[in-house]
């Protein structure tokens, strides 16, 4: 991946009218990665990793490697424990920690990786739709 600094841009926050200056960086991505690509908002992702602890990262890695194109993991925690050879208690604790940190959300029988932190495959339009579909009002993402 190559990144190129394109300069500073001035944007207006439509809710407050505040003028913001941001650095504009263009990043070129290879779309030939195994299984497609994932978009990760690194600062949020690293904070979550730091807070859940290193012993549970293998569970998180398994989740990220096994979500479908709609950010869903459709297997149980028991199956995750068997496939990762990690105790059910560690898997359960990890899922609950990720849920508390709002990275995972239970939707029906599936677990959803929240697309404001990690987006699986697809266009920006699709990822925006997933974000709207899976987000809750209390996440504060769409506050006016």
| pTM value surpassing 0.85 | no
CB under 8 Å to 73, separation ≥6 — which residues? 63, 66, 67, 110, 111, 112, 113
Q: What share of the chain is helix, strand, coil (3-state, %, to 5)?
A: 40, 25, 35
The 10s digit of each residue's pLDDT in 12-71 is 888 898 888 887 777 665 555 555 666 676 667 767 766 665 668 888 888 988 888 888
Domain around 114: 38-139
Does residue 72 carry a pLDDT above 60?
A: yes
Please indicate, yes or no, if residue 12 is contained in any of the structural domains: no
Angle at 66 between CA 80 and CA 48, to 5 degrees: 80
Is 26 domain-assigned?
no
Q: What is the CATH number of the domain that holds 84?
A: 1.10.10.10
Q: What is the mean pLDDT of residues 112-139?
A: 63
Q: Is 5 a domain residue?
A: no
* 9 CB burial (10 A radius; 0-12, 13-18, 19+): exposed
Within a domain: 23: no
- Count of the separate structural domains present in the chain: 1
Q: Is the dihedral of CA 125, 126, 128, 133 positive or negative?
A: positive
Q: Is residue 27 part of a domain?
A: no
Residue 28 lies in a domain: no
Tell me the angle at which helices 57-66 and 42-52 cross, rounded to the nearest 10 degrees. Answer: 140
**55 vs 53: CA distance, rounded Å:** 6
Q: Residue 128 above 60 pLDDT?
A: yes
In a domain, 31, yes or no: no
Residue 24 lies in a domain: no
CB 67 within 8 A of CB 98: no
**75-104 pLDDT per residue, tens:** 999 999 999 889 999 999 999 999 998 889
């Amino acid at each position: 991946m190559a990144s190129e600094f394109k300069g500073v841009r001035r944007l207006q926050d439509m809710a407050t009218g505040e003028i913001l200056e941001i650095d504009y960086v263009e990043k070129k991505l290879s779309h030939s990665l195994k299984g497609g690509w994932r978009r990760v908002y690194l600062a949020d992702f690293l904070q979550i990793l730091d807070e859940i602890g290193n012993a549970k990262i293998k569970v998180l890695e398994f989740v990220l490697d096994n979500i479908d194109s709609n950010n869903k993991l459709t297997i149980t925690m028991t199956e995750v424990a068997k496939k990762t050879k990690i105790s059910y208690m560690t898997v359960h604790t990890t899922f609950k920690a990720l849920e508390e940190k709002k990275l995972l959300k239970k939707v029906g029988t599936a677990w959803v990786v929240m697309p404001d932190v990690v987006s699986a495959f697809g266009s920006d339009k699709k990822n925006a739709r997933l974000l709207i579909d899976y987000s809750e009002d209390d996440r504060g993402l769409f506050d006016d």
